[in-house]
Structure 1
Amino acid sequence: MTATSICFSEFIKDFEKTLKQLFHETADIDQLSLERGLPPAMMKEILSKKPLSVAIPEEYGGRGSIVKECMAILAAASYESLSLSLTFGINIALFLEPIAKYADNSIKKGIFDRFLEHQNMGGLMITEPDYGSDALNMRTINKALENDYQLKGTKHWQGLTGLADYWIIASRKENDNGELGRDIDFFVADNSIPQQEVIVEELFDNLGLYMIPYGLNKLDLIVPAENKLQPETTGIKMMLDILHRSRMQFPGMGMGFIKRMLDEALTHCKNRTVGTGNLLEIDQVQYQISRIQSAYTICSAMCARSSKISGIEHNLAVEGLEANVIKAVVTDLMQESAQLLVQLSGANGYRISHIGGRGIVDSRPFQIFEGSNEMLYAQIADIITRMMKKQKEGHLFTFLKEFPLTAGVSELFKSELSFTINGSLSQRKMIDLGKIIGRITCVGYVLDLQNKGFRSDLAENCVVTVKQEVAALLASFNADNTVRAIEEYTANSSWLNFV
């Protein structure tokens, strides 16, 4: 019986059982997570269950690129290991889905066969040492030859550096005059072919996510013309479609991770005796756990929303607002959940071998890669304020009650949102505004899920928690704060001179 012939409920149940056995019986995940990489034999056994088949179309032997199945695999993995889940996330959202949508038909079968039968993996190369978030100014070039393309450049901080069998590589066309074109081109490189081999110049000592190798990659490749991805319109829009889809599927990685933080917190607080009772009887503990439960609820709603809108049949190039909301909010919630678990766990939580301590370090880069959250929140606010100006509407509540993503939930925040935005806002206030809009949008997702039967007590508690958070963000937004860093701060600032 093949993985694709098994009903998904059995498929995911078997996968979860395999992970539990490998990480808790065969080995100790708490100790494994302290080592660089995952033992090859263990990764081989995990991949033998064909988890990546969820992202491969049915006509090529996969399960059909169904988003809810992809996200369920990510959630199952992240409950045990955020590193493993990110490994799958890279393969699914940044390689297999782009191949399924944009690759030439002549190369699809060979690639998908190697994933299904030979446990291959793939990743995406965009980021360069001098051009992090500024991808449009990348300097990796491609030059057309007779039947091939030459790719030259340097890439860094790609997950699965030195481990991936395939890479999708972003580059810009070098014109005859030596200048680079404005559009972005993507090419598939097969690392098993000498002319297409990516040279790893350095492996980085990444602070967390030890299972995933990151590093500096040198490119000087010759790839066949058919290895060029085919955009529907432009390469930039293809890149946005790929990145927005990836951001929308972050909640899959967040789901299992946040659930694990919640389960660990509840178990510890039930079993930890303080005086004549346990930690759960303490009011502040109830508050802290309720915040993790709120994160669990929001992430659940995000998974449902993403399952509906982020499949490869949709073009997400213009869906930056929702993609940014989902990615930024869920990664903030992941980090906060880990911080709360460590606080509740006391001294034991302050260990890299503890799931909470490790969770802080492993979830932190999620707030940075694929667009830092500050940048994404500012973009959210920019999109909204531009729309408001276009409609000549300055009152935030009046606008949001008609805006599709917030129309169904804005009444809950009427008193908080009843103010007018006059003139341009500083970047720090744009970030606050983006956070506010992001959290209100997520409450809309929660209410939609509640209407489908999701338990109402979790949804109602979540609304209360988010309202409190929005109130705090509004206080920051309304505060008169134009403080700037003082570069030459050392003169007259040593306390020893004043004692």
Structure 2
Amino acid sequence: MNTYSSESTTIPYSTFLEEQQQQIKNWLQKEYRDRPHGVSPEVIKKILSKKPLSVSIPKQYGGRGGCIRESMGLLSTTAYESLPLSLLLGINMFLFLQPVAKYADKDIQKSVFKNFLESSHMGGLMLTEPDYGSDALNLKTSHSYGNNGYHIKGMKHWQGPTGLADYWLVASRKRLPSGELAADIDFFISDGNQAEQGIEVQEYYDNLGLFMIPYGLNKIDIVVPERQKLTSKGTGIKMMLDILHNSRLQFPGMAMGFLKRILDEAIQHCTQRKVGGKSLHLYDNIQYQLAKLQYAYTLCSAMCTRSCKISGMDKNASPHGLEANSMKALITDLMQESAQILLQLNGSKGFRFSSKAGMSILDSRPFQIFEGPNELLYNQIAETALREMKFRKILNVFEYLSQAPRTGKASGFFKNELDFTLYAEVPQRKMILLGKMIAKVVASEYLMELNNLGYNSQLIESAQSLLHVELAKVACAYHPPKLGQFTVDYQENSNWLSFP
């Protein structure tokens, strides 16, 4: 019999979501009056006491069942009030609770989920290392097996919430008898409630934005029982890809509420502000800026719909690298661009620390960096495409995309921009641009699918038009008359004061 259920885990979802939004709004408004640079851990615990994370806990353990639609809806609702808080919930849901539900020992699941529901515990993922940021396959944290369990040693940094999480998923590589590290990656649950599993925080970082979430440098020297190792039918690397891809596929959930808030703030400001005797929103260029915000909102809606179909607790996301990378990179670029538009529309009013526009720029910027810098993800998209093109002996980009599963329907919209041939090795900067173009074609298919569901056709048409404009810009950058070159000795004959 379930002993952890409560009203928040059994009430209708619409009621649950409304109550979560109201209590988050109330606590944050009260807290920000005294702490504009962040929210105290005590307030975070109070928010968690209302069991928002129950959406990512299976029903047999007292949660709401792990429905991906409910989880993304919660992220969106939270991000409308606070993007950092939405990220904090997302870290717990998709980088800890979901992997535990899929890969952890049943007894460990029972204990962890009980503590999350009854004691407002938190968790996170320790993957990134000081010297191997995006190079996860070469991480140096290692483990060896002994009588008491697995002894894990290493350094990790930029994990949220450093110092606040009760549990961590720690990525590590097995140390072989030769002293070398195994190629595969293993994951272990570290329970900070146990003395021998406590992780030492050596430094807290002064992060630029996302003040609610503490980040820092962590020293790992722990011993965990054998049953706290995650297990799967495949390799550890495939498990890692499932975890990361599932997480990246949830980025539109966080972006959804953020972009809606940006759009609402912009519309309110531009309809109330008068310049030259008329409302600001009546000016042509302002309408174009607002249209771009609506484009981001609409595209994000399409991504959320698609993500609910291919990700979740019951699905393996490791094969969905193209879509996971496309969603994460494209939507986080749009988050930053939208924040910049709102700041520009607000003028000097937006250039204040307390401004929603100003804070949105700071808080959304890291989204383009963590869980894979966007340039790296675009490059990976292009690399995947090039490998398939070579295997199928296709040189023309449009020909390839018109036959690929996730771009075949939409590629026709962009034939003029994509109808070019790849003959030689592609420079890295062009690989990134190629990846951006492919990601936009993937996104166009999402819009087509959303339109078929009966979504606002006017918003879809406008979004497709602006998406075409953005892809054309990237295509122009891909085919410049001559690439700019970096000069090491740039100071030679370059001091303007030397020229009369």
**TM-score, structure 2 as length reference:** 0.97
Q: What's the CA shift for 1:27?
A: 3.9
Aligned counterpart, 1:479? 480
Counterpart amino acid of residue 23 in structure 2? T
Structure 2 equivalent of residue 374 of structure 1:
375
1:7 to 8, 12, 19: 12
Write the distance in 2 (CA, Å) between the matches of 1:32 and 1:231: 44
CA–CA separation in structure 1 for the residues paired with 2:110 and 2:488: 57
Equivalent position amino acid for 2:73 in 1: A
SS in 2 for 1:217: strand
Within 5 A, what are the aligned runs for 1:380-459?
A: 380-459=381-460
Deviation, structure 1 residue 81 = 0.9
Structure 2 alignment gaps of length 5 or more: 1-5
2:34 is the counterpart of 1:34:
no
Deviation at 1:247, TM superposition (A): 0.4
- Cα distance in 1 between the residues matched to 2:42 and 2:105: 33
Q: Is the 8 A contact 2:40 2:212 kept in 1?
A: no
* Cα distance in 2 between the residues matched to 1:91 and 1:311: 14
CA distance in 2, matches of 1:406, 1:491: 48
What are the Cα deviations for residues 98-153 of structure 1, in whole angstroms up to 9, with x where unaligned? 00001111211000000001000000001111111111111111010124110111
Secondary structure of 2:234 counterpart: coil
**What is the percentage of aligned positions where both structures have the same residue?**
51
Q: Distance in 1 between matches of 2:489 and 2:73?
A: 52
TM-superposed deviation, 1:497: 0.8
Aligned ranges 1:202-281 → 2 under 5 Å? 202-281=203-282
Q: Is 1:159 aligned with 2:160?
A: yes
Aligned position for 2:182:
181
Task: State the Cα distance separating 1:284 from its structure 2 match.
Answer: 0.6
Distance in 1 between residues matched to 2:41 and 2:202, nearest whole Å: 22
Cα distance change of structure 1 residues 349 and 229 upon mapping to structure 2, 3 Å threshold: same
* Equivalent residue number for residue 26 of structure 2: 21
Of stretches 304-313 and 483-492 in structure 1, the one that deviates more from structure 2 is: 483-492
Aligned equivalent of 2:3 = none
Where 2:303 maps in the other structure, the secondary structure is helix
CA–CA distance in structure 2, aligned partners of residues 5 and 234 of structure 1: 36
- 1:75/1:257 contact within 8 Å kept: yes
For residues 381 and 472 of structure 2, the distance between their equivalents in structure 1, rounded to whole angstroms, comes to: 19
May I ask how many residue pairs the two structures share in their alignment? Answer: 495
Point out where structure 1 has 5 or more consecutive residues left out of the alignment.
none
RMSD value over aligned CA atoms? 1.2
Quote how far apart the aligned CAs of 1:487 are.
2.1
Tell me what 1:337 maps to: 338
Give the SS at the match of 2:218: strand
Residues 121-136 of structure 1 aligned to structure 2 (within 5 Å): 121-136=122-137
Q: How far did 1:491 drift?
A: 2.5
> What are the Cα deviations for residues 264-305 of structure 1, in whole angstroms up to 9, with x where unaligned?
000000000112211101111000110010000010111110
TM-score, L = length of structure 1: 0.97
Give secondary structure in 2 for the equivalent of 1:208: coil
The whole-number CA distance in structure 2 between the counterparts of 1:420 and 1:341 is 39
Q: Which amino acid aligns with 2:379?
A: A
Does residue 143 of structure 1 match 2:144? yes
Letter of the 2:89 partner, please give it: F
Q: Is 1:119–2:120 an aligned residue pair?
A: yes
Counterparts of 2:172 and 2:28 in 1: how far apart (Å)? Answer: 39
Distance 1:32 1:291 in 2: 33
Whether the aligned pair in 2 keeps the contact of 1:33 and 1:211 (CA below 8 Å) is no
Letter in 2 for 1:199: E
Structure 2 distance, partners of 1:188, 1:421, is 46
Contact 2:208 2:362 in 1 (8 A): yes
Task: Name the residue aligned to 2:318.
Answer: 317
Distance 2:488 2:217 in 1: 32
Q: Distance in 1 between matches of 2:36 and 2:239?
A: 35
